[in-house]
Structure 1
């Protein structure tokens, strides 16, 4: 059977999933309540930066294989498999996840489902959500408790921003939580091109599928915070965290991935996901199992404060009357996502302490201006560095990693740089006459 696909939510996850499902040969409709976003996507334009996504999306919009709508009625009539890809942000003033958008998709879609279909959750949710939504789906779908016609499955995403297209078309694994052989068969059929290419698949229950994503994020966050904790110890002892990490990376039990000390993690996933995980564990009476994540979170936030301290040290103890150039606004390179950006957090803290801060980022300038309008912005790294008493490297874009110090020498007030990502070559910068400092290094 050739399935027709709908994707609810057209953010980083949804737009990427829709375009990639079209690339795998399916007819796809993307659904969103944001009319401006739908108009932009329908014109083949992506309202955010994600490498390789816009050409892929435009290709399939032009072919007619991919289209977008705000109509749930149109999507319900069209689709055989409905993917739920909406956001689950952190609740304001709480650790818990805000599930209103996931709930809204089910509440609006379910009454319109008048034939056999599969609803597939991809959003990152607290464990137990899928079981609750399955009951809601059965309750609201025409036919009442007839779960044979309209069924739920859970298929968590593991996308990395900046590599989302690659991770969708060539994932390292597929995880599906199902309650029937029929649901498993449908998802095996949908992902047949990936399975035929040798992608491993784990078929499990709802709760385990939900836990896989948050467990993976908790593990990655823990590894990042571990090496950043070691950076704190290195600073106290005069050791070099980059050499320490290199030595650890050769241990096959540890490996080198996510073992680079620096400013810590941010973005729309890791911080809010580990907090929601802790909140859900508390609701389940298993809060003691995840108390270590509180320290993981605390270590991560301390890195930002330490970066501000290092920058202040380079300004002779005070930011008053000092100009600071910030290289980076996105929370990571190859993205324009500034959600919980460590770079902008540091920039804002320095500004509050009296510094004159100018920010440059290759892709995230528009988003940064909207979120932090009081900061100054430049159109290039050189322009941002004009008159700077210290330069802060806070997002490890290739442009910054490969920059020659001599490019900045004529424009800065003082040759001082603090490398918040441990990604620059200290020998090169020092030979060019710069004072080079970094987190966790002498």
Structure 2
């Protein structure tokens, strides 16, 4: 008998995982507590912009003409409990308000809602990013509250999705990590992931704490690498060096590697910032806070980049006030190929300049609606050309391909001043200068 899979939570992680499981051939039933989200998914519409996800949903959602019908949605916990052999927990774990620690409200509520409906053998698989020790607690809760008792097992299988590449990362992951306590749990997860494992994806079997630590450790390492090159950008600003050439030179060392060495306005989004803060908070609770004090400086360097971009813009405009100056901001999302503006450095910089009196106009290929909800007082344009029209300075803050392919001469014809500040070190200085622009990038005062 083929395994039946449920997915709990249909946000960014859950919607992608549910569609991918259907693509791998499983019958999938997904649940959410937000009726409007379920109705949207039942129409085959993705709840967020993610390349390829809409196509995957239309291919598998039941009721859509020509679909396999393998993916259905519900609001009923009893239906979830009766349907699934393996239940994937994919709910959000945001930063707790006013604290560094993770808010586990949604995780706890999901497990509490599911447990009473587990009357037969079942495997609940956590994919959410949680503080180490959470799986141990949830496993005990399931054993106590599920009618199946010890037959309602828990496993932990952290996600490593990159926004913009989530579908491919789910179907063809670079590694699979499973924290299990029984051969049965391992066997079930090997069955779920038989296709990617058959394609060569490493399958790492470990205990609960290690599985929980893998995601936060990986994110902390990436954050460290990004903040390191941004610290080097500060040194290049002070000394007249070129951080892009510096990154190229050290990146040839295969112990270091070239990825995540592009200096700029820093990282944001719904994962890296809150994950490293939650990691620090958990270390403190475990009495190991000294081990992660370096992450405070990583966080500090990252946040400092945003203020430095604002200062770079001020200096470019003569060092005075932003009052009455027109500023074009290219980018609103925290990264390209996403509509996610959570903790977006681009929007943060735009907001700071606006609060200091600048007339800011923002354009982003996919993030406009979300940006308007977060910063309704900013100006918004329907194209890069419209955003730049009449601008005294142009800030490139999200490295969309569309921005790299812009025609600087065309933009120059409508700008009040041909002054561009590259907050992502992604534009070609020679191309912009040839079109008469003054080009300036972070960490490259002489480039």
Q: Does the pair score TM above 0.5? A: yes
Per-residue CA shift, 1:338-382, capped at 9, x if unaligned? 000000000000000000000000000000011110001000000
Cα distance in 2 for residues equivalent to 1:379 and 1:68: 35
Cα distance in 1 for residues equivalent to 2:419 and 2:315: 11
Cα distance in 1 for residues equivalent to 2:75 and 2:317: 52
Cα distance in 2 for residues equivalent to 1:58 and 1:116: 32
Cα distance in 1 for residues equivalent to 2:124 and 2:15: 17
**2:70 matches 1:76:** no
**SS of match in other structure, 1:288:** helix
Per-residue CA shift, 1:379-434, capped at 9, x if unaligned? 00000111100000000000001112012011110000100000000111111111
**2:426 matches 1:423:** yes
State which drifts further: 98-107 or 61-70: 61-70
Residue of structure 2 aligned with 1:164, choices 163, 166, 170: 166
Cα distance in 1 for residues equivalent to 2:396 and 2:231: 20
**SS of match in other structure, 2:362:** strand
TM superposition shift of 1:64: 1.1
**2:283 matches 1:281:** yes
Report the counterpart of residue 357 of structure 1 in structure 2.
360
* Equivalent residue runs for 1:259-298 within 5 Å: 259-298=261-300
Report the counterpart of residue 64 of structure 1 in structure 2.
69
TM-score by length of 2: 0.98
Report the counterpart of residue 18 of structure 2 in structure 1.
18
* Equivalent residue runs for 1:17-96 within 5 Å: 17-61=17-61, 62-96=67-101
Cα distance in 1 for residues equivalent to 2:23 and 2:68: 11
Give the total of aligned pairs: 439
After TM superposition, which residue ranges in structure 1, 4 or more long, deviate above 4 angstroms? Answer: none
TM superposition shift of 1:67: 1.0
Report the counterpart of residue 337 of structure 2 in structure 1.
334
**2:322 matches 1:319:** yes
State which drifts further: 129-138 or 314-323: 314-323
State which drifts further: 399-408 or 267-276: 399-408
Residue of structure 2 aligned with 1:390, choices 393, 404, 407: 393
Gaps of at least 5 residues in structure 2 are: 62-66
Cα distance in 2 for residues equivalent to 1:367 and 1:436: 29
Cα distance in 2 for residues equivalent to 1:314 and 1:50: 36
* Equivalent residue runs for 1:227-306 within 5 Å: 227-306=229-308
Residue of structure 2 aligned with 1:204, choices 195, 203, 206: 206
Aligned Cα RMSD in Å? 0.7
Report the counterpart of residue 184 of structure 2 in structure 1.
182
**2:107 matches 1:102:** yes
TM superposition shift of 1:47: 1.9
**SS of match in other structure, 2:164:** coil
Cα distance in 1 for residues equivalent to 2:131 and 2:9: 19
**2:412 matches 1:409:** yes
TM superposition shift of 1:63: 2.1
TM superposition shift of 1:30: 1.2
Cα distance in 1 for residues equivalent to 2:51 and 2:375: 24
Cα distance in 2 for residues equivalent to 1:358 and 1:409: 16
State which drifts further: 297-306 or 402-411: 402-411
TM superposition shift of 1:51: 0.3
Cα distance in 2 for residues equivalent to 1:372 and 1:72: 36
